[in-house]
Amino acid sequence: MYWLVLVLSGVLEAVWATALGRSEGFTRLVPSVVFVVALAASMGGLAYAMRGLPIGTAYAVWVGIGAALTAGYAMWSGQEPVSVVRVLLLAGVVGCVIGLKVTH
């Protein structure tokens, strides 16, 4: 259960990071509200997951999922350039997250 909550919290990290960028400095209401709600839920889920998982592992997985999804979405939506090197580096992040799960 802790791993499932951690993965969902990592997804929510990507949501709040994307919403933060779209809020344009908190001048747009909807992205700002999405940011606050996703941030609270993501942090709450991370805190819950840390009850049963080592802090370093939980945090690294949470950040890795959030970073990979945020960058992947930005490339998919055309906000950031796509290159083979960038895709391979993101795959490396995902591989490291999987490795942390497997070695737990």
DSSP character string of 51-67: TTS-HHHHHHHHHHHHH
Q: Tell me phi and psi for residue 83, to 5 degrees.
A: -145, 160
Q: What is the pLDDT of residue 103?
A: 87
The domain total for the chain is: 1
Are residues 46 and 37 in contact, defined by beta-carbon separation less than 8 angstroms? no
pLDDT tens-digit series, residues 37-60: 999 999 999 999 999 999 999 999
pLDDT tens-digit series, residues 73-97: 999 999 999 999 999 999 999 999 9
Are residues 104 and 6 in contact, defined by beta-carbon separation less than 8 angstroms? no
Mean pLDDT in residue range 96-103:
89
Containing structural domain, residue 53: 2-102
In the structure, what pLDDT confidence band is assigned to residue 101 with cuts at 50, 70 and 90?
Answer: confident
Q: What is the pLDDT of residue 78?
A: 95
Alpha helices in the chain (DSSP H): 2-22, 29-49, 55-76, 84-102
pLDDT tens-digit series, residues 3-40: 999 999 999 999 999 999 999 999 999 999 999 999 99
